[in-house]
Amino acid sequence: MSKNLFYIGLMSGTSLDGVDGVLTSFDGQLTAAYSAFPADLKQSLLLLQSSGPDEIHRESIAAQQLAHLYAQCVHELLASANINSDQISAIGAHGQTIRHQPSQGYTRQLNQPALLAELTGIDVIADFRSRDIAAGGQGAPLVPAFHQAVFGQAGHTRVVVNIGGISNISILSADGSVSGFDTGPGNVLMDAWIHRHQAKAYDVNGVWAATGSVNDALLAQLMSEPFFAMPAPKSTGRDLFNLAWLQSHLNAYAALRPEDVQATLIALTTKTIADAIRRHAATCDAVYVCGGGAYNSQLMQSLQRQLSLPVSSTDVLGISPSHVEALAFAWLAKQFCERLPGNLPSVTGAKGDRILGALYPA
């Protein structure tokens, strides 16, 4: 098998759970691997989400740890696929977002791509977001272009919803046009809330949330966040939606049971997604969900109740919900190697099409 057929995509998202990796030839062949974050790395990354002492040193050390974890995932992919490193054209490595401030002209994805190239012997494409921001865009979301490439269908309007730590939608219109934006929190607040009260990383299948009841007054209070009413293009992250933000809204609800808060957080995620779909894609045929949220049955049922159209996971379109984002960054690496644009100005607000990423040769 010749080089240039295979690409690797690596994604570690806002949920801070680990690294999703895929190796693909984009002809239906796909190998997947997952490397969980060690507890100390997860804690380091979480602390870097806000300002603190000695940040430059802590960021550099965490970036090296992340590169080693990325390399571990790459080696697992190569072994599983029985493919040599010299058969891989490039690795697309997103990095770990620790700041996202497009209004200030920057976004920060912690990474050490030079070390990753050294550890794997494979060209690495990284830093995908900054070129779009330099062109006046949000730098996010970047996945709608990939969603259009693999999920778009002429004559049908589809909405692809990615529910990771943050939620975003891609509107794949029947005429081939694409729009999309971040809708708000996905799992990030639910994960933080259950970790505070039960020391669990996430609410498996929304079981804990199912024991609570949605508090309509709290939901309305949370929905008053100005971000939800902002016009697109827009993007967000932990800079805004974090435990401190949630706590600031809970001061008047001290008597509320923790499980009721969790149920209300599911409602917040699904209502903000559904509102965005009703406002911007009212005539869509179906909604397809990817990301970790696709595996939360309570969340999926809540989203279905919010919408009067079919809601299913991207499994029905042939791609596992847990593989979509990593596959998107393999695709973005391929776009870079072929010197093709990776952004959509209709989504990010950039001045035009741009080739995204920077090359770190092996």
| Same-domain check for residues 120 and 223 | no
Same-domain status, 81 and 193: no
- Domain membership of residue 262 (yes or no) is yes
Classify residue 316: in a domain, yes or no.
no
Is there a single domain that holds both residue 133 and residue 148?
Answer: no
- Pair 194, 305 in one domain: yes
Please report whether residue 114 resides in a domain: yes
Q: Considering the domain boundaries, does residue 117 fall inside one? A: yes
Residue 263's nearest CA partner among 216, 295, 308 is 216
Residues contacting residue 17 through CB under 8 Å, at least 6 positions apart: 36, 37, 42, 201, 202, 292
Block residue for tokens 């200030």:
104
Any idea what the CATH number is for the domain that residue 190 is in? 3.30.420.40
Q: Are residues 149 and 164 in the same domain?
A: yes
Interacting residues of 338 by C-beta distance below 8 A, sequence separation 6+:
none
Whole-angstrom Cα distance, residue 293 to residue 54? 34
Residue 122 and residue 151 in one domain: no
Residue 314 lies in a domain: no
Split into its structural domains, the chain has a count of 2
pLDDT in tens, the chain (362 residues): 335 589 999 999 888 889 999 999 998 789 999 999 999 999 999 999 888 999 999 999 999 999 999 999 999 999 999 999 999 999 999 999 999 999 999 999 999 999 999 999 999 999 999 999 999 999 999 999 999 999 999 999 999 999 999 999 999 999 999 999 999 999 999 999 999 999 999 999 999 999 999 999 999 999 999 999 999 999 999 999 999 999 999 999 989 999 999 999 999 999 999 999 999 999 999 999 999 999 999 999 999 999 989 999 999 999 999 999 999 999 999 999 999 999 999 999 999 999 999 999 99
Of 33, 327, 22, 50, nearest to 162 by C-alpha is: 327
pLDDT, residue 4, reads 57
- Give pLDDT, residue 1: 32
Q: What is the pLDDT of residue 350?
A: 97
- State which residues form the domain around 328: 6-140+322-360
- Please indicate, yes or no, whether residues 182 and 280 belong to a single structural domain of this protein: yes
Distance CA 181, CA 357 (A): 20
Residue 314, sorted as left (phi over 0), alpha (psi -120 to 50) or beta, turns out to be alpha
